Amino acid sequence: MAKRAVEQAVKVKPRAEVGRLVRLCVAAWLVPGCGHLMLGRKWRALILFVSILSMFLLGIAMQGELFKAHSASYLERLGFFGEMAVGVAMPAALFFGYSGGNPFFVSADYGTAFLVAAGMLNVLAILDAYDIARGRKT
């Protein structure tokens, strides 16, 4: 009887769990560090937010290229997904008037690398938040 009570207490509804994880990953994607904030890891969230967003802003300052989804080149399409991984920062930059980069600017290539790397770091942050939510990490 006691064993059954323990088993019932431990059982988690799978749909609710999946929904929670999806919401966590979407939040972590949209705003860097938000997933960790939802899990209560405030300092980790703040450091991730500042680092990833700083990389993105440095990429913008260096006039890095914002790739387009409908590009003829597969590499540019990959670059678009890399930059979209930062979340709302990319559409926000376009909304506030960033023209998508100046390839003739002296630091433009470095800027592009910063923009894509910021997206990739956010992917790591999303995966970390997922692992913490699943209990695989502390």
Partner 1 sequence: MTSPEWLVPVTWRSPLENVLQMATSHFTAMLLFAFFVSVVFGLLSKDTPRQRVIYGAKVFGAFMGIALLLGWIMYPIPW
Please count the CA atoms within 13 angstroms of the CA of 14 that sit on its side-chain side. 0
Contact 33, 46 (CB under 8 A): yes
Q: Which of 54, 73, 91, 134 is close enough to bind partner 1 by CB under 8 A?
A: 54
Q: Does residue 130 belong to the site contacting partner 1 (CB under 8 A)?
A: no
Q: Does residue 48 belong to the site contacting partner 1 (CB under 8 A)?
A: yes
Q: Does residue 107 belong to the site contacting partner 1 (CB under 8 A)?
A: yes
Q: Does residue 24 belong to the site contacting partner 1 (CB under 8 A)?
A: no
Contact 86, 121 (CB under 8 A): no
- What whole-number distance in Å separates Cα of residue 43 and Cα of residue 50? 11
Q: Does residue 106 belong to the site contacting partner 1 (CB under 8 A)?
A: yes
Task: List alpha helices for 31-107, DSSP H.
Answer: 34-38, 42-61, 74-84, 89-95
Find the shortest distance in angstroms from Cβ 117 to partner 1.
7
Chain residues that interact with partner 1, rule: CB under 8 A: 44, 47-48, 51-52, 54-55, 57-58, 60-63, 93, 96-99, 102-107, 110, 113-114, 117, 121, 124-125, 128, 138
